[in-house]
Amino acid sequence: MERGFIVRRDPSASVLETERDVEFGVYQAVAGTGVPVPPVYWLETDPRWLERPFFVMGRVAGETDPRLLMLASPELRAEIGRQAAEILACVHKADWHSLGLDFLGVPPSPSHCADLEIDRWEAILEKDRLEAHPILSMGLRWLRHHKPVAQKVTLVHADYRTGNFLYDQKSILGILDWEMVPLGDPMEDVGWFCVRMWRWAGDEKVGGLLDRDEWYRLYEQYSGIPVDREGARFWEILGNIKLAIIFVTGVRSYCEGRSSDIMLALTSRLKPGIEQEIATLIGA
């Protein structure tokens, strides 16, 4: 039987600085937890072979372009949405301690989860900005005054959206891109899935798949964790801010010549719409 392989290498520059050894460790850990992921086979941190660290993973047949779901039947979109809630519940129910995921950094308590993420993204903005970003700064201040306390500390994917699903005409085959994973508040993933940028179908369905209330209901059904509506709103706002900061990082990478990918520069055209969404959500 023929098997395909994918080499995933540290980028020379991208919209976000991430580490392949961390992602490799998470892929290894979550395999067998009920979360579908491609198999990983080899990690190489010595850059002399391919210039940068890399790992080798198995190729799984399927699609990743969420726009193809626009052509799918409403029934398939609803089913993919149901499976998305079920799989996310598996992520959050995973025993991260027994899986050896403490290396991701354990929050001192559930009340620290929000602070840690605000600090993280505020630091990235300060490091990578080429100019002032008053809406993002205002949004970060708002977050400081509206921090929820996590119901529990769980594994968090932190980029859980249809663009990171590998799927076919029946089901989700794999969850990809575990490069931003922290241990934190499970509502972070619930809120991120609701960010307007992922409502690619041209309607208000979160993730392009489900009505918001149905997304919350299914997540609660599978996870047993009640959705804190205000907490989810907090994380949706932080998600929009995070997305805008990722674009800021991409622009800096392009302007400094670390990447010739013009798309990194063009992401700046999306930022005003995200800032408008941030202002709307916080009622500014």
DSSP string of 159-221? --SGGGEEE-SS-EEEE---SS--EE-THHHHHHTT-GGG-TTSSS-BTTTB-HHHHHHHHHH
Distance separating alpha carbons of residues 91 and 95, to the nearest angstrom: 9
Q: What angle do CA 186, 187, 188 make, to 5 degrees?
A: 85
The identity of residue 65, as a single letter, is D
Look up the pTM and report it.
Answer: 0.93
Distance separating alpha carbons of residues 99 and 28, to the nearest angstrom: 9
Distance separating alpha carbons of residues 58 and 213, to the nearest angstrom: 36
Q: For residue 2, what pLDDT is reported?
A: 64
The identity of residue 136, as a single letter, is L
Superfamily grouping for domain 5-282:
Aminoglycoside phosphotransferase (APH), C-terminal lobe (3.90.1200.10)
**Domain extents in the chain:** 5-282
Distance separating alpha carbons of residues 216 and 232, to the nearest angstrom: 10
**Per-residue pLDDT of the chain in tens (284 residues, 90 and over written 9):** 567 898 988 776 545 556 889 999 999 999 989 999 999 999 998 888 888 889 999 999 899 988 888 788 999 999 999 999 999 999 999 999 999 999 999 999 999 999 999 999 999 999 999 899 999 999 999 999 999 999 999 999 999 999 999 999 899 999 999 999 999 999 999 999 999 999 876 778 999 999 999 999 999 999 999 999 999 999 999 999 999 999 999 888 888 878 778 888 788 888 999 999 999 999 85
Q: For residue 275, what pLDDT is reported?
A: 97
Backbone angles phi, psi at 56, to 5 degrees: -110, 130
Distance separating alpha carbons of residues 117 and 121, to the nearest angstrom: 6
